[in-house]
Structure 1
Amino acid sequence: MKSQIKQHRIIFCGAHAATTALSVIQELIKRNENGKYLLYWIGAKSPIEGKRLKGIEHTVFPGLGVTIHEILTGRIQRRFSVYTLPSLAKIPLGFVNALFLLLKIKPHVILSFGGYSAFPVVVMGRLMGVPVILHEQTVAVGLANKFSSFFVNTVAIAREESRNFFPKDKTLLVGNPLMSQIVLLPPKSSKNKKATMFVTGGSRGSQQINNAMNQTLKQLLEKFVVLHQAGEVDYKKFKARQKDLGPNYYIYSTIDPIKIPEFYKRADIVVGRAGANTVSEIIYLGIPSILIPIPWTRFDEQTKNAKMAEKLGVAKIITQDELNGELLFNEVVKLYQNWDTIVKKIDRKTADLDSKAAATLADLLEKQIHA
C-alpha cells in the first residue's frame, strides 16, 4: 500500500502584490510533485476602497489551482473622504475574518506581501503559532508592513535600502521575484523593426496617464506603434477612437499578467507607473522607460522606486503634476532617439538577485514547513 502524501497548506496574502505572489506560486508549482502543496490567497474584496474592481488574482490564480478567499477589512486612509469612517469601522472585522479563515484552512506557513488586507492575517496567524514570512517589494516601507514586521519570523526584502526599517536579526535580502516568463526573456540589445511603445497604468489603468495619452495619441502614432493598456474605467473611451486612429493603435482594458512579457518583448519603450514590479521588470529587461510615480502614497514609495531606476540609467521620471501630452510626446521621442546609447549604459545590478528571488522565497517557505 502506498503511503499517503502529507499535504502542506500555504497562504499568500497582500493588498497590491498578486503579480509578485504569482512568481512564487509558479516556483512552488514546479516543485509540487504529487500535490504536496495546497495554495491559498487571501486578499481584500476590492483593492480600492469604494470601488468594485477585482484584482488579477481573481482571474489568474484559480487556473493555477490557488483557492481564493476574500477578507472584509479596512485601512487608515491618508486623506479624509466619504469612505474614511466606513473603512476604519471595518478594521476590527478584518481580524475576525482572518481568524475564521485561518481556523478553516489551518495553514503550515503564511507568506505576506504586505498591505492593509494582509496585516490581520499576519497578526492572527502569528498568534495561532503559524510561521509567517513578510516580503517587502519597495525601497520604502508602509505602515502595515512596519507593524507586520514585529509579528513575523522572517522579513525578506527586495532592496538593501529598506533594511533599516526592519528588525535586523530577522531581515534577509532576497530580491524582487520575477515571473518565469520574464526571466526567460533576453535583455534588450536592439530596437524592433517598427518603433513600439507600451503604455500601462498598472492592472487597473491610470486616468492621469490616459489623459496625457488622449492629448498626444495622434502625434505618437505618426512615429510609433502604441500598445495601450487603459484599464476598465477609460477603456471604452479609447476603444471608440481606435478605428479613426488607425492600425498602429492597440487598446486593452486589462492584460493577463502572464502575457505581460509578450508586451515587453514587443516594446522599445515603456511608459507607466513606478510600482515595484514594473521597475524590477524594466531593469531586468533593460527597457528604456518613462515613469510617472503615483504621488499620493504615504511614504512616496513609487518616487523612490523611480529614482532607483533613473540612477541605474533605465528610466526618465515625469512627475504627475507636470505630466501632459506635449511633454510626454517630447520625452518619448527623445528616449527613442537616444535608445542605443541608453541601452548600453543601463546598470542591471539587481537582475541576478531578482531572477533568483522566487526560488529563494520558495526555499524559505519549505524551510519553515519542515522546521
Structure 2
Amino acid sequence: MNVILAAGGTGGHMVPAHALAAELKARGYGVGLVTDARGAKIPGLFEDVPVHVLPAGRTGGGPLSWLKAVGSVIAGRREAKKLYRSFRLDVVVGFGGYPAFPSLLAASSLKVPTILHEQNAVLGRVNRLLAGEAEAIATAYDQVDRLKPAYAKKTVLVGNPVREEVARLGEAPLPPFDDYAPLKILITGGSQGATILGQVVPEGLGLLGPSLRHRLQIVQQCRPDDIDQVRARYAELGIPAELMTYITDMPDKIADAHLVIARAGASTIAELTAAGRPAILVPLPIATDDHQTANAREMAKAGGARMIPQPEFTPEALARQIEALAQDPQALANAAARSLSVGRPNAARDLADLVERIGGGLSPIPVGLAARTAPETVTNGVPA
C-alpha cells in the first residue's frame, strides 16, 4: 500500500504525521509527505520519508491575498495530481493546515480515498471544508466541537499519534521526588515558542520559597528573540536553566521532568498524557476557534493539569500552582497518574489500522472497534 500524508507546516500537524509515517513504514508500506516550506524545515522529522513541497495558499489580508491564495491552491492541486499519477496511490491522510488543502482536493478529484485526522478538540477550518468528501474522520478527543452529527458514522476516536519514544514513557513511573530531590521543570511553547512563558515563568519561579527555589532545575524553550533576556533573568535569580530555541530531544526532556509548563497545543497534550506528566497549561488566546482551551479541558478535568487563562497567568498565580503541587510529593504523583489516565499512547497504531481499512476499501468502523470509537459524543461539543 502507498500512502501520502498531507500536513500543514507547524509541529502540531507534522509531529502526528511523522508518528503515523513511522508506524506505516514499520508495516512495510510506502509513505510520502506533502507539506510546505516550513514543514520541510522542522528538524528531526521525516528524515527517511520522501518530502514533496507544494504551493498552498492561506487566506487573510484582503481581496489580493484571497486571489493569491486561490492561485496557490490551484497550482498545488495541479502539482499534487501530477505526483499522484506517478505511482499507484491507495489513500491520502490529511492532518489539517492550509498546505494539506490542495493535496486532499487532488486526491478527491482522482477518486483516491481520503482520511482526515483532527488533532484538536475543535475541527479545523481545512478539515471542516473537506469533511464531507472524506472516507473517515479520525479524532484525538471524544468531544470535538464543530464536527457535524451527520459525520458520526465515519468518525473514529484514535487519539493523537506520538513518537514511539514518547509512548513508551508511560510505562515507567514519574522520576522520584521528595522533600530533598531537585524539582525538574520543562517549559515549552510548542514549535513556535511563546514569549509570555519567557516573561512570566522566571518571575514566578523567583517567588518560590528558598527551600524549593534552590532545588529547581529548569529546561526551557524560548523564542530566538527572547532567549538572551530569559537567560539573563535566570542568572540574576540564581536558578540553573538550560535554554534552547527548539527542543530536538523532546522525549528525553519529558522523561526527565516532574512538571511541564506549556501551551495547550494538541501534540504537547498528547505527549504529556501518553507519558503521564502533570502540567500547568496556558492556552494560546488567539488560537483559531480558541481550540487550545478546548484541548486542555479533558486533561484538566481529569486532574492531570492546571489550566490558567493567559490574562490570569501572572508570576504570583504560577508560583501558587507550583507550590500546591510541590509541597506534597504525592500530589505530583497523583497528577501524573491522572494525566496518564487520559493518554492514548497507541494512537499511531490505531490510526494506521484505519488507514489499512480505508486503503483496502473497507468500512472505517469495523466490528470490534467500538472501544476505540465514540461518534455519538462528537456533536458540536455537546455529548449525546
- TM tier relative to shorter chain: 0.7 to 0.9
- Matched ranges for 1:87-106 at <5 A: 87-92=65-70, 93-106=72-85
Q: Would the aligned equivalents of 1:313 and 1:342 in 2 still touch at CA under 8 Å?
A: no
Residues 101 and 292 (structure 1 numbering): CA distance in 2 closer, same or farther, change over 3 Å?
same
Cα separation, 1, equivalents of 2:9 and 2:44: 16
Cα separation, 2, equivalents of 1:320 and 1:293: 7
Write the deviation string for residues 249-283 of structure 1: whole angstroms up to 9, x where unpaired: 10011012xx2111111111100001112122222
Q: Does 1:202 align with 2:198?
A: no
Give me the identity figure in percent: 25
Residues 213 and 349 (structure 1 numbering): CA distance in 2 closer, same or farther, change over 3 Å?
closer
Residue number among 109, 118, 142 corresponding to 1:136 in the alignment:
118
Q: Would the aligned equivalents of 1:115 and 1:144 in 2 still touch at CA under 8 Å?
A: yes
Matching residue of 2:376: none
Q: Would the aligned equivalents of 1:72 and 1:90 in 2 still touch at CA under 8 Å?
A: no
Residue number among 317, 338, 359 corresponding to 1:327 in the alignment:
317
Q: Would the aligned equivalents of 1:95 and 1:121 in 2 still touch at CA under 8 Å?
A: no
Q: Would the aligned equivalents of 2:325 and 2:331 in 1 still touch at CA under 8 Å?
A: no
Q: Would the aligned equivalents of 1:13 and 1:113 in 2 still touch at CA under 8 Å?
A: yes
Residue number among 156, 177, 181 corresponding to 1:172 in the alignment:
156
Matching residue of 2:301: 311
Report deviation, 1:244.
Answer: 5.5
Q: Does 1:191 align with 2:176?
A: yes
Write the deviation string for residues 111-153 of structure 1: whole angstroms up to 9, x where unpaired: 1111222223222221121111101122222222112111211
Q: Would the aligned equivalents of 2:95 and 2:116 in 1 still touch at CA under 8 Å?
A: yes
Report deviation, 1:30.
Answer: 1.6
Segments of 5+ residues of structure 2 without an aligned counterpart are: 362-384
Residue number among 242, 246, 250 corresponding to 1:254 in the alignment:
246
Secondary structure at 2:186 match in 1: strand
Report deviation, 1:102.
Answer: 3.0
Report deviation, 1:318.
Answer: 1.0
Residue number among 289, 307, 312 corresponding to 1:299 in the alignment:
289
Q: Would the aligned equivalents of 1:109 and 1:131 in 2 still touch at CA under 8 Å?
A: yes
TM-score, normalising length from structure 2?
Answer: 0.81
Q: Would the aligned equivalents of 2:77 and 2:106 in 1 still touch at CA under 8 Å?
A: yes
Secondary structure at 2:120 match in 1: coil
Cα separation, 2, equivalents of 1:239 and 1:29: 41
Aligned residue pair count = 343
Which segment is superposed worse, 273-282 or 340-349? 340-349
Residues 57 and 105 (structure 1 numbering): CA distance in 2 closer, same or farther, change over 3 Å?
farther
Cα separation, 1, equivalents of 2:300 and 2:46: 36
Write the deviation string for residues 220-274 of structure 1: whole angstroms up to 9, x where unpaired: 6534111011133322433456665657210011012xx2111111111100001
TM-score, normalising length from structure 1?
Answer: 0.83
Cα separation, 1, equivalents of 2:134 and 2:41: 24
Matching residue of 2:4: 10
Q: Would the aligned equivalents of 1:13 and 1:121 in 2 still touch at CA under 8 Å?
A: no
Write the deviation string for residues 331-350 of structure 1: whole angstroms up to 9, x where unpaired: 22222224413533643443
Residues 87 and 336 (structure 1 numbering): CA distance in 2 closer, same or farther, change over 3 Å?
farther
Cα separation, 1, equivalents of 2:226 and 2:52: 28
Kindly indicate whether structure 1 or structure 2 has the higher relative contact order, using CA contacts under 8 Å at least 6 residues apart: 2
Cα separation, 1, equivalents of 2:68 and 2:228: 33
Q: Would the aligned equivalents of 1:159 and 1:173 in 2 still touch at CA under 8 Å?
A: yes
Cα separation, 2, equivalents of 1:170 and 1:12: 20
Q: Does 1:24 align with 2:28?
A: no
Cα separation, 2, equivalents of 1:19 and 1:338: 34
Code of the aligned partner of 2:317 = L
Code of the aligned partner of 1:255 = I
Report deviation, 1:41.
Answer: 2.1
Q: Would the aligned equivalents of 1:15 and 1:113 in 2 still touch at CA under 8 Å?
A: no
Secondary structure at 1:321 match in 2: helix
Secondary structure at 1:60 match in 2: coil
- Matched ranges for 1:228-239 at <5 A: 228-239=220-231
Report deviation, 1:85.
Answer: 4.9
Code of the aligned partner of 1:19 = V
Report deviation, 1:61.
Answer: 3.1
Report deviation, 1:170.
Answer: 1.4
Matching residue of 2:378: none
- Tell me how large the CA RMSD over aligned residues is: 2.6
Residue number among 325, 330, 333 corresponding to 1:340 in the alignment:
330
Write the deviation string for residues 281-303 of structure 1: whole angstroms up to 9, x where unpaired: 22222222100001112321111
Secondary structure at 1:63 match in 2: coil
Residues 94 and 57 (structure 1 numbering): CA distance in 2 closer, same or farther, change over 3 Å?
same
